[in-house]
């Protein structure tokens, strides 16, 4: 299913395989659902599989920035308490603990391939302030130029409503725009955008290509979110809008599938592509 493609431009849309092949600067947003098991525990096997694929891309000449959720889940996994607490102080405390665990996991996984990682914890104010914006951009360029993998997350321990970005789909889009990426890939627990919730409607149809986001939103039902993620499909669509406005393509893929990036690059897996 295609949304928004005019007949006049039928030949112009590249496949996901071609987009990956043509992209040198890629931001990978990894959702909390991708990094957790169905029981809400940290899935180290999934993390290792993703890192292995990204290293393969980097060795092939691509530059990678990771925007990673998962601090809360890692916090629960580390101390196994507070996960039922709704109080913001406990949620932020869990993220403070979990962020260390998350970065240690990435550090050890990339170390297997002789790569270093660097951490950036950001808030909305960092993107709204010109001086901070410039420093973030320079830091990203420096890390990537030196072969270090930047891992970006929201600074949940200090974020309140006034400065909170809100979800890492938006953070991924802001990072892609700031860095001038060629492609943003969002890894979630669904195969792409459907015309309605596939977990509730077996007859839901997947939408493979989108060139008109307003038409897409008119054409689908976006009710419901998944259990461990905060975003849902709406924030992913809005993230696509943000990067498309800067001429950056976005792909939504099922990060729970083994070797999903490798298979997408080989043309063996598809998702939903939003064309910038």
Q: Which residues pair with 150 in a beta bridge?
A: 118
**Whole-number pLDDT of residue 230:** 45
**Whole-number pLDDT of residue 73:** 87
15 in Cβ contact with 2 (< 8 Å) = no
- Which residue did the predictor score with more confidence, 274 or 155? 274
CB atoms within 10 A of CB 253: 25
The phi, psi pair for 197, rounded to 5°, reads: -60, 115
Residue 195 has pLDDT above 60, yes or no: yes
Tens-place pLDDT, residues 198-257: 878 889 999 999 999 999 999 887 655 444 444 588 899 999 999 999 999 999 999 999
Euclidean distance between CA atoms 234 and 212, whole angstroms: 15
Angstrom distances, CA of residue 128 to CA of 27, 123, 260: 20, 9, 34
CATH (domain of 54)? 3.40.1160.10
* Long-range contacts at 157-164 (CB < 8 A, ≥ 24 apart): 157/92, 157/93, 157/95, 157/96, 157/99, 158/92, 158/123, 159/92, 159/123, 159/124, 160/88, 163/123, 163/124, 163/125, 164/123, 164/124
Q: Which pTM does this prediction carry?
A: 0.92
Among 127, 77, 86, 133, which residue's Cα sits nearest to residue 105?
77
Report the b/e string of 68-88 with b at 16+ CB within 10 A: bbbbbbbbbbbeeebeeeeee
- Which residue did the predictor score with more confidence, 194 or 85? 194
Among 186, 141, 150, 151, which residue's Cα sits nearest to residue 167?
186
The helix/strand/coil state of 26 is strand
Looking at the structure of the chain, the number of domains it has is 1
**Whole-number pLDDT of residue 157:** 74
35 in Cβ contact with 45 (< 8 Å) = no
Span of 2-6, 20-24, 104-108, 149-153 with lowest mean pLDDT: 2-6
247 in Cβ contact with 184 (< 8 Å) = no
Domain range for 104: 2-274
What is the percentage of the chain residues whose pLDDT exceeds 90? 67
Euclidean distance between CA atoms 119 and 151, whole angstroms: 5
């Amino acid at each position: 299913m295609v949304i928004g493609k005019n007949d006049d431009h039928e030949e112009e849309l590249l496949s996901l395989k071609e987009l990956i092949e043509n992209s040198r600067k890629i931001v990978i947003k990894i959702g909390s659902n991708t990094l957790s098991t169905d029981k809400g525990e940290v899935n180290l096997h999934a993390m290792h599989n993703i890192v292995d694929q990204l290293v393969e891309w980097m060795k092939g000449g691509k530059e990678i920035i990771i925007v990673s959720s998962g601090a809360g889940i890692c916090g629960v996994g580390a101390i196994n308490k507070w996960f039922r607490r709704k109080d913001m102080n406990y949620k932020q405390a869990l993220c403070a603990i979990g962020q260390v665990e998350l970065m240690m996991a990435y550090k050890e996984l990339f170390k297997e391939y002789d790569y270093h990682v660097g951490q950036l914890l950001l808030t909305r104010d960092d993107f709204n302030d010109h001086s901070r914006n410039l420093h973030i951009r320079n830091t990203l360029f420096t890390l990537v130029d030196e072969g270090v993998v930047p891992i970006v997350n929201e600074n949940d321990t200090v974020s309140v409503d006034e400065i909170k970005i809100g979800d890492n789909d938006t953070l991924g889009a802001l990072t892609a725009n700031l860095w001038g990426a060629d492609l943003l890939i969002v890894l979630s627990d669904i195969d792409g955008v459907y015309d309605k919730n596939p977990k509730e409607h077996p007859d839901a149809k997947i939408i493979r290509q989108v060139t008109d986001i307003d038409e897409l939103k008119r054409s689908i039902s976006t009710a419901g979110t998944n259990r461990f993620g905060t975003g849902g499909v709406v924030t992913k669509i809005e993230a696509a809008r943000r990067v498309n406005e800067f001429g950056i393509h976005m792909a939504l893929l099922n990060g729970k599938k083994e070797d999903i990036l490798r298979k997408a690059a080989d043309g063996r897996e598809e998702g939903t592509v939003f064309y910038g």
